[in-house]
Chains A and B, each alone.
Chain A
Amino acid sequence: MAKIGVFTCWCGENIARHVDVEAVSEAISKLPGVACSMNYKYMCSEPGQSLISEKIKELGLTGVVVASCSPHMHLKTFRKTVELAGVNPYMVEMANIREQCSWVHSDKAVATAKAIELIGIAVAKVRRNAALQPIKVPVTKRAMVIGAGVAGIQAALDLAAGGVEVILVEREPSVGGKMAGLSETFPTLDCSQCILTPRMVEVGQHPNIKLMTYSEVEKVDGYVGNFKVTVRKKARYVDIAKCTGCGTCWNACPKKNKIPNSFDYNLGNRGAIYIPFPQAVPARPTIDADNCLRLQSMKKGKELCGICMKNCGSQAINFHDQDELVEFDVGAIVVATGYKLYSIGKEQENPNIKGYGEYGYGKYKDVIDSLQFERIISASGPTGGEPKRPSDGMTPKTVVFIQCTGSRDNAKGITYCSKICCMYTAKHTMLFKHKVHDGAAHVFYMDIRSGGKMYDEFVRRAIEQDGALYHRGRVSKIEEIKVDGVKKYRCYGADTLAGEPCVVDADLVVLACAMVPSDGVTKLAQKLSVGYNEYGFLSESHPKLRPVETNAAGVFVCGACQGPKDIPETVAQASAAAGKALIMLSQPYLTREPEIATVDEKLCAACGACVQTCPFKAITIEEIRDRKGNFIKNTSRVNPGLCMGCGTCVSVCPSKSVDLIGFTDDQVYAELESLLA
């Protein structure tokens, strides 16, 4: 027989003003199974909690209902209280008679009557509560970082420094990401490579870091503390253990400088065997199978070329290399897959987003995006840092920068601000002016958003010291024209501050396009059961309080895959993600809430409805066999490490063979039945 204690709180006057707590206690004391019904001024205070524990000990209470504020406020408090008094902490329910009663109803009689019913619901539920034990999940002390841009590099280094083994997975042949291709960085104008490459070298050499470049995550199984990640190591055709990175091969390649280099956003060229940039880590080449004469000929049963192999002193070239699947057991995963620029052309992957066909990107060679401009003015870029325009190599004298290309434009489908464009555009004008002293840098902008340490000062410097010409307005159209035989791009803009049209004939146009998550991130998110928004940016668990956690336990996010951000913010977030992962990995066991789904395996028909439905892939179909190994039946089974306790499986189970502990059907129906007049 249940012995339930009901403790009604006055919350000072907060509850007592509109709820007659004495009448409530009196009415509740008559409910079946209620062994005591008390009220007190502040139940959450020390004397209030003592009252509960005294009554538990005195009467041997089996369940406790605290009628006070929202369970979001104090359920944990009271669970602790009863636990200290020797009762299982999950034998507590709360009736919310403050937020959902006394604060919203001013008629005392009505509020009192409702409070009694709300407590009745809680009493009905607690009668069906079960003593629960937190779930302990063992932890593999190894982490995986997906993406080796500056975010991934930072996270990997921090994790490694914390003594954890790290698998750093990068899709490209080299680590470095977008930052490796930048020229100089705001607001200090220090060279991007100068600050990043030492860190790239460090990840390449760190004893705790295993680098998996030219590799992608294929499959994620398991759950927090116990992930099993399968990584596809793509065929590189070069054994990087044998290769010394001497460069003979890429210099000998007959396709040298004939293939557009994606690292230079196709402004520069490379060979079929190549390193994307001189500072690549690992500084080992890769063969681009689509463009390699040998590999292409092998498809037709011939063996052409092979010059690189013939020239390789260390016999590192293997034309028979194949993709390899490598499995890793890891306890935590940090996702740092970064961003790409929004596609400015008309064609979009996302049907809800439209391009800026009117800017002629793709049609006019000298209309480029901001990352291309970074390469043009980068000392390591295809022009060696000399500003030359792509179409004819001419040094541009007039450059138009158009901000918010895509960002903050409802009409084109992207509503958000990409956050970094104001700053890098100011930087671009400066870098341009530093190299072309008599040049003109026109910037069309909507607003200048330069919040940050030394940020606004930086923009002011571009305008005031370097003479960048800022026009508050949009460019509606760009047309190619000829002025004195020279190709120009007429930008039809507006200066809304002056209230007049502003037409600039530019030699080069640079579009500061919106940042969007990099390719394939939604597929990866699905593998990881991480949520994402309509644009594909990964969802953090809480925008303020859990900014690097995700709703998939054990998976953390950092950098631009979570939302547009600049380098300092990315690095800070990467360290935060690494820190959170380290906290998790520092414990021998993970403790998880026991309020998860459970299957009555005897009655489950294994129809798979729950398996299909579970947002966390926590349910699988398993075989039940007898001791001799004979097959008895199939059943669904919940992995307690993966289940987050949403209970969606319960709703789709036709036979209700799955139930949600803590919110069982037994409890929920009892709550409802308590309302039976």
Chain B
Amino acid sequence: MSSETTAGAGANSSAGFEPKIVAFVCNWCTYLGADLAGTNRLEYPANVRIIRLPCTGRIDFNLVVKAFEVGADAVLVSGCHPGDCHYTAGNFHARRRWKLFRELLDTVGIDTNRIYFSWISAAEGAKFQSLVTEIVEKTRAMGPYQDYRSLVAES
């Protein structure tokens, strides 16, 4: 689509910078939490793009890398609270992978402050609202993820 219509338009200059946030969420908890935020009309900034997956277990680490490749300034990965997984254990498996992956990202110098992990249940519309708001504000303050953008530009 044309870049004029995207929220990330003109993102390269810090002034008027609108962060692009990609959120990978599970279908049963966080997606419904986001729906609940809607049902309750809890406003939050429009910068987040949700990719719906069945379970946090399905969220492969490489998707996070890809999100940065397509220009994300921050990434949110969110699913059911421990014990609430629709598939009993997908989130436990995911939690372990994330813990390790964060260490790797840290060593490589990919800014782990731009990757957020959360448990948001179907009842936590307000948590979704406040977390997204916080992510957008913090990312706005950090500015565009220049490091990764320049990598992509060099490619």
State the A residues within 8 Å of B (CB): 27, 30-31, 70-72, 96, 98-101, 103-107, 110-114, 116-118, 120-121, 529-531, 533-534, 539, 551, 595, 613, 615-616, 644-648, 650-652, 660, 663, 665, 668-669, 671-677
Contacts and interface: CB of A to CB of B under 8 A. Distances in A.
Contacts of A111: 46
15 contacts: A30-B2, A70-B31, A70-B38, A96-B50, A98-B38, A100-B35, A100-B50, A113-B6, A113-B7, A530-B88, A615-B85, A616-B88, A646-B58, A651-B59, A676-B70
Contacts of A117: 1, 5-7, 49
Contacts of A103: 38-39, 41
Contact of A105 (B46, B52, B53): B46
Contacts of B55: 646-648
A675 B71 contact: yes
B34 interface: yes
Given A117-B7, A651-B59, A677-B8, A104 B37 contact: yes
Contact of A650 (B5, B38, B60): B60
Nearest to B12: A677
Interface of B: 1-3, 5-9, 11, 20, 22, 31-32, 34-39, 41-44, 46, 49-55, 57-61, 63, 66-67, 70-72, 83, 85-90, 93-94, 97, 129
Nearest to A673: B70
Contact of B94 (A96, A101, A651): A651
Contacts of B37: 99-100, 104
A648 B54 CA distance: 9
Nearest to B53: A663
B46 A647 contact: no
**Most chain A CB within a 10 A radius of its CB, from B3, B11, B39:** B39
A31 B51 contact: no
A101 B35 CA distance: 10
Contacts of A100: 34-35, 37-38, 50
Contact of A121 (B38, B49, B58, B83): B49
A98 B39 CA distance: 9
Given A113-B6, A675-B70, A650 B58 contact: yes
A551 B54 contact: no
A648 B11 contact: no
B60 A104 contact: no
Given A646-B58, A675-B20, A675-B22, A72 B32 contact: yes
A96 B42 CA distance: 16
Contacts of A615: 57, 85, 87-90, 93
Given A30-B2, A99-B36, 16 more contacts: A31-B1, A70-B31, A99-B35, A99-B38, A104-B46, A104-B129, A107-B46, A530-B88, A551-B86, A615-B90, A615-B93, A646-B57, A648-B87, A648-B90, A648-B94, A676-B71
Contacts of A672: 22, 51, 63, 66-67, 70
A533 B84 CA distance: 9
Contacts of B22: 672, 675
Nearest to B11: A677
Nearest to B3: A677
Contacts of B71: 675-677
Nearest to A665: B60
